[in-house]
Structure 1
Amino acid sequence: MAMELMIYYVDSVKDEVNAYYYRQCSTKGTRCYGKNIRCPNECPSSESTDPKAKVCHIDCDKPICRAVCRSRKANCNAPGSGCYDPRFIGGDGRVFYFHGKSNEHFSLVSDSSLQINARFIGHRPAGRARDYTWIQALGILFNSKSLSLEAPKRSQWNEDVDHLKFTYNGDHLVLPEGPLSSWQSPEKDVKLERVAARNSVIVTLEDVAEILVNVVPVTKEDDAVHNYQVPEDDCFAHFEIQFRFFGLSPKVDGVLGRTYREDFENPAKVGVAMPVVGGEDKYRTTSLLSPNCASCVFSPFTSHHTQPTQVAPESMATLDCSKFSYGLGISCNMAGAILEIVLENLNSLELGLCLGFNLLTTIKETLEDAEQKQLSNRAVKDWLEKLKDAAHVLDDILDEFAYKSLRLEHQRVKVENKNDFIILNHNNLII
């Protein structure tokens, strides 16, 4: 993640320093270098003591220079997520299931300088052909260091109890309960912070990844719907996870990591209700913190700065979407048609990207107008919240699309006049 100048402000009532509300992107080589980006009024700070509140997020290396309001809890419907009876959404945006096996470990991401393993827990009811499984722990190797997160076994779920345990370099790590409680490694390259008082954290690996983790049980409702037949002595506390990566190499592997490769061909069958992929033997590791598997490429002596899959600095660009609006109003029921246009115009990089972001802007304006009218119909309010979440997911997908499209454009065309790329000025886009 690029370094930026961050401006802080002091709340005169609470007498404490809040997180940034404005950033100047000051690192040369990033796409938004030299740009001043302000957080929207709806989320003026990058931190909040309310775990449900969205916070400001500014990434100076995004293809589109803008601030967005983002949830700090894992979004199970966004690219890079792994939730439930493991259901993943890959870097390519496609859903797939990887069941693994109970009480075994598998590599989710294996790169030259990053290894992320998962421990699977579960059980197999009588007459069942496979285990029901969930992710119960993560093991992370980074910069010759190790970090683990675990949800210990509990017979009953108690939301007033923290169900997280941490270790750093093999030593037990204590993270006090309470929102905004945080810990950093001595080198400041690993950060662990609580989103809520308990059971929700964010792991930040400097310049490499951000991992959102939420602990949940298998509920009685889940058990009834899926017929898990969960025993009385285990609520199967497990993780909901969302990964955001900032510089994976072209050779990244792992159950989830491989979906970020440019040459990746998804083996999951299209059109089936539960597209399951195998590969247990390729991704099985001997322990939670072991980098040894048949497909693992982790090398602890490799710097994370050596093999980024990013566009070369001279080709980095940002876009101006305003010239594609044509002054037309786009209603929400045209969303499907607009997305089809985006997909059909991959060869027109600016048109494809900007139609997508104009759609997001239209959704935002529609939602704001509806909220101003103070709708009282509960069903309509629920619909609005779901639409907001859908727009947030679309934003993540468009970011991935932008990265890949810019790389393809760089390979195909040598940009002679950099002035053709005009800076996007949608800093107040709220999703």
Structure 2
Amino acid sequence: MAVLARPCTLLLVCSFVLVVAVVAQPVPPNFVTIQPGKFSKRNYEIVCQDKNKKKPGCQVSCPSKCPDECVVHCPSCKAMCMCDLPGQVCGDPRFTGGDGNTFYFHGRKDMDFCLLSDPDLHINAHFVGKRNSAMNREFTWVQALGILFADHRLFIGVQKTVTWDNDVDRLVITFDDQPVYMQTEEKARWASSSSPALSITRTKMANGVVVELEGKFMIMVNAVPITEEDSRVHNYGVTPDDSLAHLDLAFKFYSLSDDVHGVLGQTYRPDYVNKMDVRAKMPVMGGAPNFSSSNLFSVDCHVTRFGRGAAADVAVV
């Protein structure tokens, strides 16, 4: 996959296939038009079809390593696991930054960390986790996002779940502290009356949505558990009392300032220098205290930019 610079790549799951193409090289990258396609899924088979039906489309198979879903670049008929694409935050959180490099940021369980902070946008994440005493380390996952823009607060999280069922929706979404109710059907859409630029669309009947704030960001959200196989392979030590449900995420940002910061945000700065060993099997970003927030909607992390400068006064309509 190509190295990504600003802005990051839009992803959508197979159940709502989006075409994504990224050209490596200069900043910003040259994107091919993103178009929705029709699909069928049997044994990971997906059918891409041009929405204008000017091309016959193609049929591909998801890579076998993809847990449930993949994304398809229909012009080239190439399929990739969602968590292998740029702009993602998956698993024990593995990030792919704006510079195209993949790294891990473990943080601490039951704490909140600033993923991105800009004068008019701030995104915190709440981490859940489990300590493996045999490995003397703490595994962590993103359980919820707290998003601030203009004078609005958007919460997206997954409920703690003992026994996971893919057909039972465990996502919880609130906007300005009011619950967001959506029909449990694919492509069901909710739009805010107080901020018409904000919309949420289901990508499947349960546990998957795309959140878009026009002109600012698009976030693909998937709620997933830690499976027995995940636990066995990675020594997570998951027990039957908690499936450690968490969020796999993919971001696209439409406009960021040159001073953006945060665990993920700093990788979109034009002056960002990656000091991690990208050749390491698991390059880890340190400096957790710089990104720690007192709660999910606080902007008190050391690297906060929210509310600073003229950009913060731009109305979101």
TM above 0.5: yes
Q: 1:118 aligns with which of 99, 117, 125?
A: 125
> Helix, strand or coil for the counterpart of 1:223?
helix
Q: Whole-Å Cα distance in 2 between the matches of residues 88 and 157 of structure 1? A: 25
Q: Whole-Å Cα distance in 2 between the matches of residues 64 and 96 of structure 1? A: 24
Aligned ranges 1:317-396 → 2 under 5 Å: none
Q: Whole-Å Cα distance in 2 between the matches of residues 128 and 276 of structure 1? A: 16
2:167·2:205 contact (CA, 8 Å) conserved in 1?
no
Q: 2:242 aligns with which of 234, 255, 260?
A: 234
1:74·1:240 contact (CA, 8 Å) conserved in 2?
no
**Alignment correspondent of 1:207:** 215
**How far 1:205 sits from its partner (Å)?**
1.1
**Corresponding pairs, count:** 256
Aligned ranges 1:278-317 → 2 under 5 Å: 278-299=286-307, 302-303=310-311
**Alignment correspondent of 1:168:** 175
Q: Which amino acid aligns with 2:206?
A: R
Q: Which amino acid aligns with 2:176?
A: N
Residue 94 to residue 65, structure 1, CA distance change in 2 (3 Å): closer
> Helix, strand or coil for the counterpart of 2:206?
coil
Q: Which amino acid aligns with 2:165?
A: N
Q: 1:217 aligns with which of 193, 202, 225?
A: 225
Q: Which amino acid aligns with 2:145?
A: L
1:115·1:291 contact (CA, 8 Å) conserved in 2?
yes
**How far 1:64 sits from its partner (Å)?**
4.1
Q: Whole-Å Cα distance in 2 between the matches of residues 234 and 65 of structure 1? A: 41
1:284·1:293 contact (CA, 8 Å) conserved in 2?
yes
**Alignment correspondent of 1:179:** 186
**How far 1:305 sits from its partner (Å)?**
8.4
> Helix, strand or coil for the counterpart of 2:92?
coil
Q: 1:248 aligns with which of 230, 252, 256?
A: 256
2:16·2:203 contact (CA, 8 Å) conserved in 1?
no
Structure 2: where are the runs of 5+ without partners? 1-11, 22-27, 37-70, 73-79
Residue 56 to residue 278, structure 1, CA distance change in 2 (3 Å): closer
Residue 101 to residue 292, structure 1, CA distance change in 2 (3 Å): same
Give the TM-score normalised by the residue count of structure 1.
0.56
**Alignment correspondent of 2:282:** 274
Q: Which amino acid aligns with 1:88?
A: F
Q: Which amino acid aligns with 1:164?
A: L
Greater CA radius of gyration, 1 or 2? 1
**How far 1:294 sits from its partner (Å)?**
0.6
Q: Whole-Å Cα distance in 1 between the matches of residues 281 and 212 of structure 2? A: 34
Residue 173 to residue 238, structure 1, CA distance change in 2 (3 Å): same
Residue 82 to residue 55, structure 1, CA distance change in 2 (3 Å): closer
1:99 aligned to 2:99? no
**Alignment correspondent of 1:140:** 147
**Alignment correspondent of 2:6:** none
> Helix, strand or coil for the counterpart of 1:76?
helix
Q: Deviations over 1:139-175 (max 9, x none)?
A: 1001210101111101110111001001111122212
Q: Which amino acid aligns with 2:142?
A: I
Q: 2:33 aligns with which of 56, 67, 76?
A: 67
